[in-house]
Amino acid sequence: MSLSVEKVSRSFSGDVAVKDVTFHAEKGEVIGLLGTSGCGKSTVLRAISGLDTGYEGTIKVNGEQSRSVNKDLGIIFQEARLMPWLTVLENVYFGLEGDKKEKREKAIQLLKQVGLEGFEHYYPKQLSGGMAQRTAIARALVTEPTTLLLDEPFSALDAFTKLQLQDMLLDLWNSYRPTMVIVTHDIDEALYLCDRIVILKGQPGEVYDNIKIRKPKPRSKSDIELVKMKERILKALELGKEPLVREA
C-alpha cells in the first residue's frame, strides 16, 4: 500500500473538522478528494503532507508513519507560491541537493516537460497564472517524489488553461507514476484524472462514498459510464446522511 489513511480525525479548538476518515491508495493510484466547501478536504491533505500533525489516527506513506514533512512527498497548492526573487529555473531546482550542473539539467528537463522551454530565465512576475502553476508542478516533481499532493491545483485558472494543465498532469503522471491525492471541487476534473474518488461530506467531514473508476486514461469526457458516475456523485453531494460504500 502506497498511502494509508486510517481513522483520521482532526479538531480545532474543540470543533471536530473531520472524523474517522479512512482511504487507501495503491502505488501510482490517483485519488480525488471531493466534497463541498468546508467538509475538510484540505485538512486531510495537510495531515497527509505532515504540515499538520495535530490529528488522531494513522497515516502511512509507503508503509512509514507520516508525522513530518517528508522528502517522498511533493505538494502543489492552489497558488504557485514561487519565490519572486528567483528565476523560473532557480525556483525549480531550489530544493534539490547536489551538484549545481546536475540540478540545473534536471530542472531544465522538467521545465521542458511542463511546456516552459525558453522561459527558464523569466521571473515569477513575468508569468501568467498557468505558467506559474506549470513552474510549481515542475518544482514539485523535480525531486521525483513517490507521492504528489495537490490542493485544488487548477481552481484559480481560466477554463481553457485548466483543461490544458489537466492533460499535462496526466502526461507527467504517465512519465513518473507518483501516487497522487488531488483535492478538488470539480467533479469533471476528478472523473477525468482519478482512479478513485473519495467523497467527504458533512460537518464534521466523513467519508460518504468511495468510488473506484476503472476506465483507462485518457478518458472521453462524454463516456456514458463517467456520466453515470457524475450523477451518482451529484446525488451523494446533495442527499443522504449515511455512507454508501466504505471502500470499493
Residues that bind ligand ATP (CB under 6 A): 12, 17, 35, 37-43, 185
Is there a contact between 108 and 89 (Cβ–Cβ < 8 Å)? Answer: yes
DSSP 122-156: --GGGS-HHHHHHHHHHHHHTT--SEEEEESTTTT
- The distance of closest approach from Cβ of residue 60 to ligand ATP in the complex, given in angstroms and rounded to an integer, is 21
Closest CB to ligand ATP among residues 45, 136:
45
User: Judged by CB, which is closer to ligand ATP: 120, or 186?
Assistant: 186
Angle, CA 213 vertex, CA 36 and CA 133 arms, to 5°: 60
Alpha-carbon distance values, 185 to 153, 208, 234 (Å): 11, 15, 11
Measured from the CB atom, is 54 or 218 closer to ligand ATP? Answer: 54
Least Å from the CB of residue 37 to ligand ATP: 3
Q: What's the closest the beta carbon of residue 220 comes to ligand ATP, in angstroms? A: 27
Least distance from ligand ATP to the Cβ atom of residue 68, Å: 18
- List, in order, residues 6 or more apart from 8 with CB less than 8 Å away: 18, 20, 21, 22, 44, 47, 55, 56, 57, 58, 59
CB of 13 to ligand ATP, least distance (A): 7
Indicate the SS3 state at residue 6: strand
CB of 47 to ligand ATP, least distance (A): 10
Q: How would DSSP label each residue in 181-242?
A: EEEES-HHHHHHH-SEEEEEETTTBEEEEEEE----SS--TT-HHHHHHHHHHHHHHHS-SS
> H-helix or E-strand containing 76?
strand 73-76
The nearer residue to ligand ATP, 43 or 66, going by C-beta atoms, is: 43
Query: Nearer Cβ to ligand ATP, position 55 or 192?
Result: 55
Nearer to ligand ATP, 88 or 136 (CB): 136
Q: Report the residue number, 92 or 149, with the smaller CB distance to ligand ATP.
A: 149
CB of 154 to ligand ATP, least distance (A): 14
The amino acid occupying position 100 is K
